[in-house]
Amino acid sequence: MENDLILEEIIKQNKHWINNNSWFDAKKYQRKLLLELISYLKEEQILSIVGLRRTGKTTILKQIIQYLIDKKNINSKNILFLSFDEALITSKLSLNKYLDAFLDTTKNNKLKYIFLDEIQYIEKWQHILKRYYDTRGNIKFIVSGSSSLFIQKKTTESLAGRIYEFKLNHLGFDEFLEISNTKKSLIAEYKKFAISNLDKIKYKENEYQWFLAQNGKKLEKLFEDYLLYYQFPETICKNDKQKIYKYIEDSIYKKTIAYDIPRLFDVNKVDELKFIFRVLINETSNEIEYGKIASEAGVEINTLKKYFSYYQDSLLFNIIYNYSKSFRKSKRLQKKGYIASTNFFTTFHPEFFNINTIASQYIGKLAETYIYNILKTKYEYISFYKKNQKEIDFVCNNEILNKKKAKLIEVKYVNNIEKENFSFLEKTAIENFKVNNYFIFSKRHFYNKNKKIIIPCFLII
């Protein structure tokens, strides 16, 4: 009886076994991460995809399966897919019983591919995978999860050296352009001038200025739409803003706050979790004071710190600290917070934005949040620099002890950047850090002379 139930669930979830093309997401846009994951399929290590809800993890898993069947001629019966939704989680059948049932039905010497979606809900999954990994040489595991905790802490216990982690963030602006109805000619031009490495700016200043004169206004409008509404794949086809807000609130915010965090961290005060995260959404890009937020929420500071760690482990929120060469010391200094998606802010504050007018004070916060989320994919250490009430938004480095390798960055999303004063940034960069240049991320302005580099926010990918 038990085995029948297991096989029934396996067959139900593996429609690719009967050549059902509707099961695949082939027509959906392919995230940039897909090709990188495919390049690692030959490695023996387990591959893990970690990311927020609704970023496309399940779609990528199915696209890899389709690649294996269509491009590598892998027999579909040698590929298992299991998604651990509530029905499967609440059943008392363990993961190893599903794996054994699958392996018993495919008794051949061919390599088996096993895809496990949202695996963090399975108790002791890391020990189960370790046993199969260590004792059977013909299995390739690809897993996904919506919490960084399921990889970072549990894998150090038993899967060290056996697993590669890949982060799937929300859509980048370049990906948004690809999925939306943006003209292909504009996308092609954008790709030429987009900047992914601050040390490698490909074109001369006059070439960038010509490009921006031709396309800057269009890209600025698209970028602001992206900041406000379109960082998740399934929102791009929606024109009704209310439906976008509902999708983000119900499918991402509520699912993570009211379902994922309580289940993963054994928290039962969901109203507190919701309230505090709403406060953090309001405070994105601002300094964070534990005492003030704890008082506002009516919780102890230690409880608040626990909640902060849950938000961070659930990929909803990040904290950076005032600059110090000592990482340990920096954790005792002032701190700022950034939400994972600027769309969260718009969802809970639609009154700040309308078709004709965008409140500049809020779009500036969102532009800074966007830049932070880009920088954290490129640099291991990110802090801000504050001295005598003057501040630089970001100090980024991959070598914390080597100040000369730092990137000092200010975000100024304003119309008239020429009127802004950057003397503190310039002095700190050249005298304190002795770096070759410093960066200002702007609304639509480009400049590259005398160590000062100004780049439109929408060109950073």
Domains of the chain and CATH, by start: 2-168 (3.40.50.300), 174-459 (no CATH)
Rounded Cα distance between 189 and 363, Å, is: 25
Given a cut of 60, is residue 358 above it in pLDDT?
no
What confidence tier does 263 reach under pLDDT thresholds 50, 70, 90?
confident
For the residues 116-130, what does the mean pLDDT come to? 89
What integer is the mean pLDDT of 71-97? Answer: 83
Judged against a pLDDT cut of 80, whether residue 330 lies above it is answered with no
Edge-to-edge order in the sheet of strand 79-83: 79-83, 112-117, 139-145, 46-51, 163-168
User: What angle do helix axes 270-282 and 290-297 make, rounded to 10 degrees?
Assistant: 130
As a whole number, mean pLDDT of residues 324-344 equals: 81
Q: Report yes or no: 64 and 58 within 8 Å, Cβ to Cβ.
A: no
C-alpha of 12 from chain center:
30
pLDDT for res 87: 58
Average pLDDT, integer, range 27-48: 93
With a cut of 80, say whether residue 85 has pLDDT above it. Answer: no
Amino acid 352: pLDDT = 78
DSSP-based three-state secondary structure for 440: strand
b or e along 114-134 (b: 16 or more beta carbons within 10 Å of the residue's beta carbon)?
A: bbbbbbbbbeebbebbbebbe
Range among 39-53, 140-154, 358-372 with highest mean pLDDT value: 39-53
Percent of the chain's residues with pLDDT above 90: 75
At 108-119, the pLDDT tens digits run 899 999 999 988
Question: Between residues 309 and 154, which one has the greater pLDDT?
Answer: 309
Strand partners, 321: 335, 383
Q: Which two tokens stand for residue 414?
A: 């304003």
How many Cβ atoms sit within 10 Å of the Cβ of residue 330? 18
Say how far apart CA 434 and CA 404 lie, in whole Å.
Answer: 6
- First and final CA of the chain: distance in angstroms? 53
Computed over every residue of the chain, the mean pLDDT equals 91
Provide the Cα torsion 181, 184, 190, 194; round to 10°: 80
pLDDT at residue 331, as a whole number? 57
Residue 155 half-sphere exposure, CB side, CA atoms within 13 Å? Answer: 21
Lowest mean pLDDT among 192-196, 272-276, 328-332, 407-411: 328-332
pLDDT of residue 434: 94
Question: Is the pLDDT reported for residue 223 higher than 70?
Answer: yes
Q: In what order do the strands lie in the sheet with 438-442?
A: 335-339, 317-322, 381-387, 390-397, 407-411, 438-442, 452-456, 447-449
Judged against a pLDDT cut of 80, whether residue 218 lies above it is answered with yes
Residue identified by tokens 């651990």 is: 84
Q: Check residue 388 and give left, alpha or beta (phi > 0: left; psi -120 to 50: alpha).
A: left
CA distance 33 to 69: 19
Q: What is the DSSP string of 114-175?
A: EEEESGGGSTTHHHHHHHHHHH-SSEEEEEEES-THHHHTHHHHHTTTTEEEEEE-SPPHHH
Burial class of residue 104 in the structure, from the number of CB atoms within 10 Å of its CB (0-12 exposed, 13-18 middle, 19+ buried): exposed
What is the structure's pLDDT at 326?
A: 64
Buried b (16+ CB within 10 A) or exposed e, 440-456: bbbbbbbbbeeeebbbb
Residue 342 pLDDT more than 60?
yes
* Pair of tokens at residue 6: 């297991």
By CB atoms closer than 10 A (0-12, 13-18, 19+), residue 71 is exposed
Query: pLDDT for 181-210, tens place per residue?
Result: 899 999 999 999 999 999 999 899 999 999
pLDDT above 70 (res 19): yes
pTM: 0.93
Strand partners, 358: 353
